[in-house]
Amino acid sequence: MSIHQEVHCVLDRSMQDITKCFAGIQLMKDDVGLSENVCTVHTVLEGEHRAALLLHADMALLVRLAQNVMKQETVTSQDIEDVATEYFNVLCGRVAAGFFQIAHIPSRFQTPRFRPGKFIPESKSSCRHILTYNSEKDGSMQLICVGLPPNEEKNSIMPC
């Protein structure tokens, strides 16, 4: 298996496992598009091989995520942001551990940031993974990992 395929597998396993364990939501790989009501949680993995890791998610799915984690029907926008950021933080930890297992390169990640809207890195890197998932009734999520050159700004995330 190539390193590109191994990275893809780490991203997929991490996304599926963490979403199921963290919030009890089963995701299915799907090429369905995201709605217009999307938020982005993002960070930069630092180390010898830098990468931007982004999660684009339909707001309906983020609401369900917060409801499941908090075990209550009514959630505020701050609850949604806090739960989404913590979920992504756990996901990033799993991804960093997986990258270490396949490449033996330690990395750490910056504190995740939450933003309304869809954002992507400015990087022109050819190392790019985009995985799209669908929840049966709550919308879609898209996990994106993009390699970053060592000299690129740490927060070079731009709106689509």
CATH assignment at residue 105:
3.40.1550.10
- Look up the domain containing 75 and give its range: 3-149
Residues 6+ apart with CB under 8 A from 153: none
Determine, yes or no, domain membership for 95.
yes
d(CA 118, CA 55): 9
> Is residue 46 within 8 Å of residue 109, measured between CB atoms?
yes
Residue 53 host element (H or E):
strand 50-58
Is residue 154 domain-resident? no
Query: For residue 158, is it within any domain?
Result: no
Q: Tell me, yes or no, whether 96 lies in a domain.
A: yes
Considering Cα of 26, then 88, then 29, then 74, what sign does the dihedral take?
A: positive
Q: What is the pLDDT along the chain (160 residues), one digit of tens a residue?
A: 788 899 999 999 999 999 999 999 999 998 888 999 999 999 998 877 788 999 999 999 999 999 999 999 999 999 999 999 999 999 999 999 998 998 887 888 999 999 999 987 776 666 789 999 998 777 899 999 998 877 544 444 444 3
Q: Under 8 Å CB-to-CB from 76, ≥6 apart: which residues?
A: none
The answer to whether the predicted template modeling score (pTM) of the entire model surpasses 0.95 is no
How many folded domains does the chain comprise? 1
Residue at 101 is within a domain: yes
User: Which DSSP symbol is given to 76?
Assistant: -
Contact of 83 with 65, CB cutoff 8 Å: yes
- CA torsion through residues 141, 3, 46, 160, sign: negative
